């Protein structure tokens, strides 16, 4: 597996059920458990970073590949609780656990996508995914009878777009985790195109059915 560096480091870990963080994506969190309040207070004195791992209820343990989160904002609340805003940074793989208490700390290595080659037609996949996104948003808006539009400024680089799209597959954490673990930008975009194409067909069928009933009534 490609790694951004041969170096490894210790990283405090925060397992979260059905939450998958992607690089460049925001993640607001409410911190209330004592061990995680302690963790946040500790990292605020250093580099403000910790690792987010999806907790897998099927195995009863966290997954091994996650995304580092950097704390951008902190709002202190009563009883030392806090609301924080974080931003996804590098992906990592847990090599081993250094300790479990008072909070889990892992030995991790950074991972990144494989370098692209001249044969990779990434821009073609970017155009295809963007078109599918536009269709899905348009059909969703029509079905819900409201104006729905994509943000004016979508990420322009293939890898950033792939992370943005994956982060919006709400309600499908296992699929999101699979996308996070991929180390090929092209493979990630291709899989997202498959998901969006399936979604578009489903929405188109529902929209046609709704139009039919509207005509009948």
Q: What is the pLDDT of residue 211?
A: 57
Residue pair 21/53 in contact (Cβ under 8 Å)? The answer is: no
The answer for residues whose C-beta is within 8 angstroms of residue 131's C-beta and 6 or more apart is none
pLDDT at 83 over 90: yes
With cut-offs at 50, 70 and 90, classify the pLDDT of residue 213: low
pLDDT above 90 coverage of the chain, percent: 71
pLDDT at 93 over 60: yes
Q: What is the pLDDT of residue 1?
A: 43
For residue 108, the cross-strand partners are 9, 94
From the list 125, 73, 96, the residue with the least C-alpha distance to 11 is 96
For residue 73, the cross-strand partners are 85
Mean pLDDT of 17-35: 96
* Bigger pLDDT: 156 vs 200: 200
Mean pLDDT of 103-109: 96
């Amino acid at each position: 597996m490609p790694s951004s560096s041969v170096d490894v480091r210790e990283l405090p870990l925060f397992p979260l059920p059905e939450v998958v963080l992607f690089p460049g994506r925001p993640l607001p969190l409410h911190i209330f458990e004592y061990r995680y309040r302690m963790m946040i207070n500790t990292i605020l004195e250093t580099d403000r970073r910790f690792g987010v791992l999806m907790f897998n209820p099927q195995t009863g343990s966290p997954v091994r590949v996650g995304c580092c989160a950097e704390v951008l904002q902190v709002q202190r609340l009563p009883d030392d609780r806090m609301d924080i805003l974080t931003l996804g940074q590098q992906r990592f793989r847990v090599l081993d656990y250094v300790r479990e208490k008072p909070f889990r700390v892992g030995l991790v290595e950074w991972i990144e996508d494989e370098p692209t080659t001249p044969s990779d037609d990434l821009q073609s996949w970017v155009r295809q995914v963007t078109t599918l996104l536009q269709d899905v948003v348009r059909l969703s808006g029509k079905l819900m009878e409201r104006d729905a539009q994509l943000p004016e400024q979508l990420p322009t680089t293939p890898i950033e777009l792939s992370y943005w799209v994956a982060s919006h597959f709400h309600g499908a954490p296992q699929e999101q985790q699979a996308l996070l673990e991929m180390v090929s930008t092209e493979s990630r975009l291709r899989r997202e195109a498959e998901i969006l194409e399936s979604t578009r067909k489903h929405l188109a069928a529902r929209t046609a059915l709704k139009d039919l009933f509207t005509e009948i009534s």
